[in-house]
Chain A
Amino acid sequence: MSRARGCVAGVLTSAALMLGALGGCTTVKAGDDRVAPVPSAAAQRVTAAPATTITGDRRIIHVLSRLTYGARPGDVERVRAMGLSAWIDRQLRPGTIDDDATEQALTELTTLRMPIAEALREFPRPDPKLRAQLASGEMSRQEMLERYPMEKRPARIAGELQAAKVVRAVTSERQLEELMVDFWFNHFNVFANKGDVRWYVAAYEREAIRPYAMAKFPDLVRATAHHPAMLFYLDNWLSARPDFRVPAGPNRGRKAGLNENYARELMELHTLGVDGGYTQKDVTEVARAFTGWTIDRPQTDGHFVFRPAMHDTGEKVVLGQRIPAGGGRDDGERVIDILTRSPATARFIATKLVRRFVSDTPPPALVTRVAAAYTSTDGDIAAMLRTIFESPEFSSEDAYRAKIKKPFEFVASAVRALGGRTDAQGGMALARASAEIGEPLYQAQPPTGYADRGEVWVNAGALLARMNFALGLASGRYPHVSIELAPLVAGADPAVPSAVLDRLLASIVADQTGPATRAVLTTQLSEPQITRLSPDDRGPANTDVAKLAALVIGSPEFQRR
């Protein structure tokens, strides 16, 4: 993507930067910033290649755009005051950051904290008779809704989870952790509308993803492998040795057998990657190893259980490593050990992280270093992240604004940029906005989750949806989402449109707009509908800040991070 921005612009920026560096324009003292490369190394790079490291406030802006759901007004100043490296350190240790205000905002979302068994009790399945009556036309849709109201349906669980995700993205102080929860949920994706996952999905994020989002990668694999949501979503709960017959229950006597769905995705998507060197034989062997990993009473209790009767007790060979016969439940644990210790896994996870934080085309040298960090720390996520954040590739001019925001990142960053707040209700409306732009939350049906590459998200319909969201948000059309435009232009004389524009651009995009965008917005200022007499202001021409803000949020620059 960066190459597409044109060599002329690139050379000019580089030249400007070099001048900036030489002229000592940077406001951050070198000692403040442990992330910065040592001066001699930087100097070497300058001589070896054009100066490509971003510095000063631009670096803070860059870090905020990558490690948070977008900068809020005042964030740059706050990070500058704390020191960038201190701020990054804190984000890497989210437990040290007080976040009570966010938790307060989530209290009304009761299903977030509900154990699976309770969720299954609280949201019973509709009586099959009701469904039959609806299908036969005996009962109208309206009657069905009365007998089985929406708030009593399990869809409420995913709905509240969506709202919580938005609220957290907008207000949490633990921004990096929230990004990583999103990243790992997507990596270990489950589809919230598949069968019993409806009841399990909130518990899945709470129990299997969030606790390990900044911890050890192998623990994430273990936690997801054991969780009823994953066991159900990828069908492992049903997988059994080939000649197994169901001993009891409604399916008593029915033959069950091997299901290789989880085994394949565990290797392809969760650990080794599709080019990780496994074969169809490995898929079958891994599936055999996980037979018996199932869900106890999935419709009333829903927790992991190992059922020896379903388990294939024979020997397995996975990636050339022998798992002796008779291992029982430990077969699956052994497979996880083998897979998470594989260099292919280190490289695959490193690649995905670098793609998230640096570039759609991950620099191979950085991937190698991050993979090495994985290997030397047994997959410590914070260590890998630190390697990325401290790398010259991360702070390079090539990486600056090179990523295009995913729809949800765009929605959250727009609210944050306008100094917005939202309650749970507003969260649901914003989740719908994300869906309209192409990313319905917790609704990725395939196990690949959502793509993390710009070209997937940039298309005609989605761009219009982004512009329309910007218009709706800036004009206050999202109930329960409060934005504060006045502080964004504080100090600027409302009768002087260009002053308002300058202040607004400084607040929303930290002045990082191209000259073309500024020129267009300046032209817009002469539109009578922009500089108009507002009904609540009898004074002189009053600039329509909301319209200008919408244009900025919908502009090409704001789609990047």
Chain B
Amino acid sequence: MITRRTFVKAGGCALVAYAGAPRFLLRTAHAAEPSGKVLVAVFQRGAVDGLSMVMPHGDPGYAGVRPSIALQPPRRGESERAIDLDGFFALHPALAPLVPLWSNRALAVVHACGSPDTTRSHFDAQDYMESGTPGVKSTTDGWLSRAAGARPAKSTPFRAVAIGPVLPRTLHGDVGAISIQSLDRFDVRAGTDTTARAGFESLYEQGVHDLLHGTGRETFDAVRMLRSTRASRIAPANGAEYPRVPLGDALKQIAQLIKANVGLEVAFADMQGWDTHVGQGAERGQLALRFRDFGAALAAFAQDLGDKMSDVVVLTMSEFGRTVAENGNRGTDHGHATAMLVLGGGVRGGRVYSQWPGLDHHRLFEGRDLAVTTDFRTLFSEVATRHLGVPAAPIFPGFRSPAPLGLFA
């Protein structure tokens, strides 16, 4: 059983004690709290080809095994080609909107990053990356929830928010995360009739303390606060234009919550469509279109937040990478290591953090995949400790980080 909330976790008879305890003091906490540090996790579901996202053009093993999907190496002055980052790595040309962030040293890349677990199952690998415990399926909560929960308690239902139709695995846990599809539809909609809202609210207020009632209570706390802040009316600033795709909508709404000062600490959004087994494309094509939306959404978010980005870090992740060699269908199959991006306040950007394992056949994991040289927990725990200021040990149980990457100044 997933224990989403303390009162559930407390189990059986302890519920009775909780039932009479005062709820956290939301009713009086209408005055919004200023946002402190915020961590935004973006999951690329389906396993992004890290070798296309951040291409190792300096590795002689790259082009030969990818006859139809290799990117052309960067060449100064030529657009529509990969964009050189540091003489060895280059950004996919469709990610061009991120280049100014790289130049401003707000964007860092962590390459050859991934899980110590070797599964090539999307489902298991996502589960491990979201729980933060690779190889351990019995973990009931997610690392992002533990990270938020490790911070001092706050009287806001918006500490941990996912934008989307379901609450992701990584936000299951005691922090009481909420998921929202759309801020402006986040209410009981019954026109001028307020009795419906009041009625539903009482229905979830009373009775047993289980998943449904607990969620219901959090929901109405959140509805009330969102109404008072009118977060959904806040327009993008600084001329930011979000792409009209789900990730663009999600990041736009996360920015609205940050600007509305509702007390957001961790946020989550995801993007599908990275499982490019067939017809992946190179500078153009299927994967390039995904990168275009992905890059445009991240860039718009940073532009929209402007100075507020100094308190925000965006961390991108994907369950694994893809085979180094192209498969029989101009695509790639499930691999191992991939690339992840870190963007925002305090990040020592403009650098690729990587112990590059190399693409020589004998250097590949199981003879086919980019090897993992940075455990994703090394990256995640550094972001959690340095940005959110929480201890890593309880968030990544059993993990002892080697030397930090040095991502933060």
- A259 partner, pick from B206, B273, B278, beta carbons under 8 A: B278
A556 CA to B220 CA in the complex, in Å? Answer: 14
Q: Do B215 and A463 touch (CB < 8 A)?
A: yes
Q: Do A464 and B278 touch (CB < 8 A)?
A: no
- B222 partner, pick from A445, A460, A529, beta carbons under 8 A: A460
In the complex, the chain A residue whose C-beta lies closest to that of B204 is A556
In the complex, the chain B residue whose C-beta lies closest to that of A551 is B199
- A5 partner, pick from B2, B196, B208, beta carbons under 8 A: B208
In the complex, the chain B residue whose C-beta lies closest to that of A257 is B328
- B165 partner, pick from A255, A461, A555, beta carbons under 8 A: A461
Q: Is B181 an interface residue (CB 8 A)?
A: yes
Q: Do A6 and B208 touch (CB < 8 A)?
A: yes
Q: Do A455 and B12 touch (CB < 8 A)?
A: no
Interface residues of B in 165-195 (CB under 8 A from A): 165-167, 172, 178-182, 185-190, 193, 195
If the complex has contacts A259-B328, A556-B204, are A461 and B120 also in contact, measured as CB distance less than 8 A?
no
Contact partners of A471 in chain B: CB under 8 A:
188-190, 196
If the complex has contacts A7-B12, A461-B165, A554-B200, are A235 and B219 also in contact, measured as CB distance less than 8 A?
no
Interface string of A250-271 (1 = CB under 8 A from B): 0000011111110010001100
Binds B, one of A315-323, A388-396, A486-494, A518-526: A518-526
Interface residues of A in 105-150 (CB under 8 A from B): none
Q: Is B408 an interface residue (CB 8 A)?
A: no
A313 CA to B8 CA in the complex, in Å? Answer: 56
Binds A, one of B89-97, B329-337, B380-388: B329-337
Q: Do A460 and B212 touch (CB < 8 A)?
A: no
Q: Is A81 an interface residue (CB 8 A)?
A: no
- A458 partner, pick from B11, B190, B215, B278, beta carbons under 8 A: B215
Q: Is A49 an interface residue (CB 8 A)?
A: no
Q: Is B360 an interface residue (CB 8 A)?
A: no
If the complex has contacts A268-B123, A457-B166, are A239 and B218 also in contact, measured as CB distance less than 8 A?
no
Q: Do A458 and B212 touch (CB < 8 A)?
A: yes
Most interface-central of B172, B178, B187, B328 (chain A CB within 10 A): B328
Q: Do B12 and A6 touch (CB < 8 A)?
A: yes
A399 CA to B147 CA in the complex, in Å? Answer: 34
Interface residues of A in 453-489 (CB under 8 A from B): 453-465, 467-468, 471
- A460 partner, pick from B67, B193, B218, beta carbons under 8 A: B218
A242 shortest CB reach to chain B, Å: 7
B6 shortest CB reach to chain A, Å: 12
How many of chain A's residues have a CB under 8 angstroms from any CB in B?
72
Q: Do A3 and B196 touch (CB < 8 A)?
A: no
A13 CA to B8 CA in the complex, in Å? Answer: 20
Q: Is A541 an interface residue (CB 8 A)?
A: no
Q: Do B213 and A461 touch (CB < 8 A)?
A: no
Q: Is A448 an interface residue (CB 8 A)?
A: yes
Q: Do B209 and A6 touch (CB < 8 A)?
A: yes
Q: Is A338 an interface residue (CB 8 A)?
A: no
- B166 partner, pick from A255, A438, A554, beta carbons under 8 A: A438
Q: Do A445 and B188 touch (CB < 8 A)?
A: no
A479 CA to B15 CA in the complex, in Å? Answer: 43
How many of chain B's residues have a CB under 8 angstroms from any CB in A?
70
Contact partners of B2 in chain A: CB under 8 A:
453, 455
Q: Do A238 and B195 touch (CB < 8 A)?
A: no
Q: Is B86 an interface residue (CB 8 A)?
A: no
Inter-chain CB contacts under 8 Å: number: 202
Q: Do B16 and A6 touch (CB < 8 A)?
A: yes
If the complex has contacts A257-B328, A261-B333, A446-B46, are A461 and B181 also in contact, measured as CB distance less than 8 A?
yes
Contact partners of A404 in chain B: CB under 8 A:
211-212
- B213 partner, pick from A448, A460, A519, A556, beta carbons under 8 A: A556
Q: Is B210 an interface residue (CB 8 A)?
A: yes
B58 shortest CB reach to chain A, Å: 27
Contact partners of B409 in chain A: CB under 8 A:
none
A551 shortest CB reach to chain B, Å: 5
If the complex has contacts A458-B211, A556-B207, are A268 and B121 also in contact, measured as CB distance less than 8 A?
yes
- B179 partner, pick from A240, A360, A461, beta carbons under 8 A: A461
Q: Do B328 and A256 touch (CB < 8 A)?
A: yes
Q: Do A455 and B172 touch (CB < 8 A)?
A: yes
Q: Do A7 and B329 touch (CB < 8 A)?
A: no
A242 CA to B326 CA in the complex, in Å? Answer: 12
A7 CA to B277 CA in the complex, in Å? Answer: 50
In the complex, the chain B residue whose C-beta lies closest to that of A407 is B165
- A551 partner, pick from B12, B166, B167, B196, beta carbons under 8 A: B196
In the complex, the chain A residue whose C-beta lies closest to that of B328 is A257
A238 CA to B333 CA in the complex, in Å? Answer: 13
Q: Do A274 and B121 touch (CB < 8 A)?
A: yes
Contact partners of A361 in chain B: CB under 8 A:
1
A257 CA to B2 CA in the complex, in Å? Answer: 42
A46 CA to B320 CA in the complex, in Å? Answer: 51
- A554 partner, pick from B178, B203, B331, beta carbons under 8 A: B203
Interface string of B365-397 (1 = CB under 8 A from A): 010000000000000000000000000000000
Q: Do A8 and B13 touch (CB < 8 A)?
A: yes
In the complex, the chain A residue whose C-beta lies closest to that of B3 is A4
Interface string of B319-331 (1 = CB under 8 A from A): 0000000011101
Q: Is B122 an interface residue (CB 8 A)?
A: yes
B309 shortest CB reach to chain A, Å: 26
A555 CA to B11 CA in the complex, in Å? Answer: 23
Q: Is A152 an interface residue (CB 8 A)?
A: no
If the complex has contacts A361-B1, A463-B219, are A517 and B333 also in contact, measured as CB distance less than 8 A?
no
> Can you report 11 A-B residue pairs in the complex whose CB atoms are below 8 A from each other?
A4-B210, A6-B12, A6-B209, A255-B328, A259-B277, A283-B120, A459-B166, A463-B219, A527-B195, A527-B199, A529-B195
Given contacts A235-B278, A258-B328, A460-B218, 5 further A-B contacts (CB under 8 A): A1-B211, A257-B328, A460-B222, A463-B215, A514-B208
